[in-house]
């Protein structure tokens, strides 16, 4: 994956962040979207008019006064499920994001700092995990483990850490050769001291900039896995709503898809885009120098 070295005038232009990214609006829009969903998730229990599993009326009722977004194929309130579905998405996003960065950080920083054979072994391991097809693996392990929220977040972290590990390793390798680290080594500072006082603070912002896209990916994945049937069936989630709707045999005979299928799809899109905008803004803020290799 070595991109050709960029030098001179072209380098300045290539590295310059496109100005659509520089607009402060992106972070704000993303923050507002994610914040709104966070409020929904937090207040979910009081905002939602019904209990998510309760059968509250006729089946496939159109949106109206009693049911803001109508009812689904077995008469549950769609709005309630939509509001409470926010929780799983956000919890998995946060847990999986933190887990991904933590695992990637341990491997990447460990490899970059120790170099030598430890580095070689860790990076070969990273390469192996990197090429595994992730979704089939998640489906298999998710089905085997049952797919509770925590298990799901752990699985997502366990499959997606290699990219973070690679980025962090290369960053640690560059940091290592900087003069302030060399000076610290010269003064006899131990590895642990240097990692804590020099490497981690320098990586801090990069870790955050990596956490947000990882969280966004987790939102899409959790919903997708629930859509494919991996997840706790008792817990309302957007992916499960899509699944139920598309599995309903007469969905398209009526116009029920309009209030049953489309809202969860739009919610997933909105949250994923919101997190991505936030991530792009954070990345730009952290350092344009570190503009990552786009694949």
Binding site for other proteins (CB under 8 A): 1-4, 6, 8-11, 13-14, 18-20, 124, 127-128, 131-137, 139-145, 216, 220, 223-224, 227-230, 242, 246, 252, 257, 261-262, 265, 268-269, 272-273, 276, 294-295
> Smallest distance from the beta carbon of 202 to other proteins, in angstroms?
25
Of the candidates 131, 95, 130, 136, the residue with the CA atom closest to the CA atom of residue 224: 136
d(CA 83, CA 87): 8
Query: Which of residues 47 and 141 has its CB atom nearest to other proteins in the complex?
Result: 141
Q: Is 22 exposed, middle or buried (0-12, 13-18, 19+ CB in 10 A)?
A: middle
CB of 101 to other proteins, least distance (A): 20
Which segments of 54-115 does DSSP mark as H helices, in order?
78-114
C-beta of 58: minimal distance to other proteins in Å? 22
Of 26 and 203, which has the nearer Cβ to other proteins? 26
Structure tokens at 96: 């999986």
Angle 275-277-282 from CA coordinates, rounded to 5°:
95
Q: In the bound complex, what is the minimum distance in angstroms from residue 138's beta carbon to other proteins?
A: 9
Closer to other proteins at the Cβ: 101 or 155?
A: 155
Report the nearest approach of other proteins to the CB of residue 81 (Å): 16
| Per-residue exposure over 67-77, b if at least 16 CB sit within 10 Å of its own CB, e if not | bebbbbbeebb
Instruction: Give 99 or 239: the residue with its C-beta nearer to other proteins.
Output: 239
Measured from the CB atom, the residue of 31 and 229 that comes closer to other proteins is 229
Distance CA 155, CA 152 (A): 5
CB 238, min distance to other proteins, A: 10
Q: What is the DSSP string of 106-144?
A: HHHHHHHHH-HHHHHHHHHHHHHHHHS-HHHHHHHHHHH
Output 192 or 250, the one with its CB closest to other proteins. Answer: 250
């Amino acid at each position: 994956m070595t991109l050709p070295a960029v030098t001179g005038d072209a380098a300045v232009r290539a590295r310059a962040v496109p100005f659509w990214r520089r607009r402060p609006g992106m972070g704000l829009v993303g923050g507002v979207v994610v914040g709104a969903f966070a409020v929904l998730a937090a207040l979910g229990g009081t905002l939602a008019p019904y209990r998510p599993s309760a059968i509250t009326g006729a089946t496939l009722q159109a949106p109206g006064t009693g049911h803001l977004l109508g009812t689904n194929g077995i008469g549950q309130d769609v709005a309630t499920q939509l509001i409470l579905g926010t929780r799983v998405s956000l919890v998995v996003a946060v847990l999986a994001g933190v887990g991904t960065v933590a695992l990637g950080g341990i491997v990447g920083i460990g490899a970059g700092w120790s170099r030598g054979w430890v580095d070689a072994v860790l990076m070969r391991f990273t390469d192996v995990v990197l090429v595994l097809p992730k979704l089939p693996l998640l489906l298999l392990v998710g089905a085997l483990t049952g797919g509770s929220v925590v298990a799901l977040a752990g699985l997502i972290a366990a499959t997606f850490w290699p990219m973070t590990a690679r980025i962090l390793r290369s960053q640690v390798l560059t940091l290592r050769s900087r003069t302030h680290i060399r000076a610290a080594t010269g003064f006899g500072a131990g590895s642990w001291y240097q990692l804590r006082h020099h490497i981690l603070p320098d990586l801090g912002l990069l870790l955050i900039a990596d956490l947000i896209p990882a969280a966004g990916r987790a939102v899409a994945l959790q919903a997708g896995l629930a859509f494919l049937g991996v997840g706790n069936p008792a817990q309302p989630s957007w992916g499960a709503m899509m699944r139920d709707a598309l599995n309903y045999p007469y969905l398209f005979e009526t116009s029920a898809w309009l209030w049953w299928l489309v809202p969860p799809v739009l919610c997933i899109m909105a949250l994923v885009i919101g997190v991505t905008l936030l991530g792009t803004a954070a990345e730009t803020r952290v350092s344009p120098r570190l503009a990552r290799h786009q694949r």
